[in-house]
Amino acid sequence: MYVLGIESTCDETAAAIVEDGRTVRANVIATSVKEQALYGGVVPEIASRRHAECISAVADKALADAGLTMDDIGAVAVTFAPGLIGAVLVGVNFAKGLAYAAGKPLVPVHHLRGHIAANYLTHPALKPPFLCLVASGGHSHIVLVEDWCRYKVLGRTVDDAAGEAYDKVARTLGLAYPGGPSIAAAAKHGDPHAYKLPVPHVEGKYNVSFSGLKTAVINEVHNAAQRGEPVDVAGMAASFQERIDQILARKLLAAAADTGARTVCLAGGVAANGRLRQLVNDGAQKLGAQVYLPELKYCGDNGAMIAAQGYYEYRDGNLADWTLNGLPTLAIDYR
């Protein structure tokens, strides 16, 4: 079964075609990231406008790349939550119109469920149950994936998401947006012990907090400026990356140890971070757990992950009618 997936929750306009939830036949992305970088972050109105301009052409290219027509498509899947609501609505309304005109089922997909499903594209043998850390610009969750469409949240951020912290620290250090790749690049030339950064304490064994860590970096940079002293940008980048990745890895591995999980996964944009991958892989090996990591091209927002999860949502009978609306927030374990 071919599923056409549509994704437009942030600054990537994406469409993809995936066969049986595993095999990518086409994956097309148009991004406004360079334009957003001018402002140091995503401007929602600009993102929405670019989605409206690109989405039809992106979907057409996905079909052309796959050598298919809408007659070959079994269902249209679309991210309907959570995300920047103006951006989400562009994708939802386009998908509704396309599915209606083509006479195809409409499948609503939760954005974080899609990120988790990116692992299915890289690892065809992977199947639930497994434990997954989903870390991105807007989310940081430790999720027990009980079945293809059933989830249990064990921990989450109580304030800033990991990706958001990366972006804000990068801006403070004068590094380019998006912050994750910029900090990772700078950290290669820095000492991860150059600055002593705090480990935030938070209620909930598997919960995380990054607001205080972000603030500590900002204060250190501002204090250095007031003293007329230079900031070791590479050292600060390395220290910040080490601290935040250690926190994420420790929480995930603690949850794995306590639950007896034999399979551990990463998902989301922050899952592309090499140091985080190393920490999780090394720690999971000590626990005797198998680690599955998505290909880097599937870590960021893309349509393939939505099409993949859409296949399993379709199998589960999770279909939408023409009243489907976009939502800015929604728990991953909604029923």
Partners of 16 in beta bridges: 5, 27
Asked if 14 contacts 24 with a C-beta cutoff of 8 angstroms, the reply is no
Looking at the chain, the whole-number percentage of residues with pLDDT higher than 70 is: 100
- Mean pLDDT for the stretch of residues 244-249: 98
- Is residue 90 located within the same domain as residue 199? no
- Is residue 140 located within the same domain as residue 50? no
Q: Distance of CA 155 to CAs 82, 135, 144, 148, 259, Å?
A: 18, 12, 10, 19, 13
Instruction: Give the separation between CA 247 and CA 243, rounded to whole angstroms.
Output: 6
pLDDT of residue 335 exceeding 90, the answer is no
Beginning with the edge strand found earlier in the chain, give each strand of the sheet holding 130-135 in spatial order.
Answer: 150-156, 140-147, 130-135, 263-267, 290-292
Instruction: Give the separation between CA 166 and CA 140, rounded to whole angstroms.
Output: 12
pTM comes to: 0.97
Q: How many helices (H) and strands (E) does the chain have?
A: 10, 10
Asked if 96 contacts 107 with a C-beta cutoff of 8 angstroms, the reply is no
Backbone angles phi, psi at 208, to 5 degrees: -135, 160
Number of domains within the chain: 2
Assigned domain for 122 exists: no
- Mean pLDDT for the stretch of residues 250-262: 97
Assigned domain for 151 exists: yes
Instruction: Give the separation between CA 246 and CA 236, rounded to whole angstroms.
Output: 15
Q: Tell me the residue range of the domain where 100 lies.
A: 2-117+298-315
- Is residue 132 located within the same domain as residue 109? no
pLDDT of residue 40 exceeding 90, the answer is no
- Mean pLDDT for the stretch of residues 140-166: 97
CATH number at residue 71: 3.30.420.40
Assigned domain for 323 exists: no
Instruction: Give the separation between CA 100 and CA 12, rounded to whole angstroms.
Output: 24
Per-residue model confidence (pLDDT) at position 157: 97
Assigned domain for 80 exists: yes
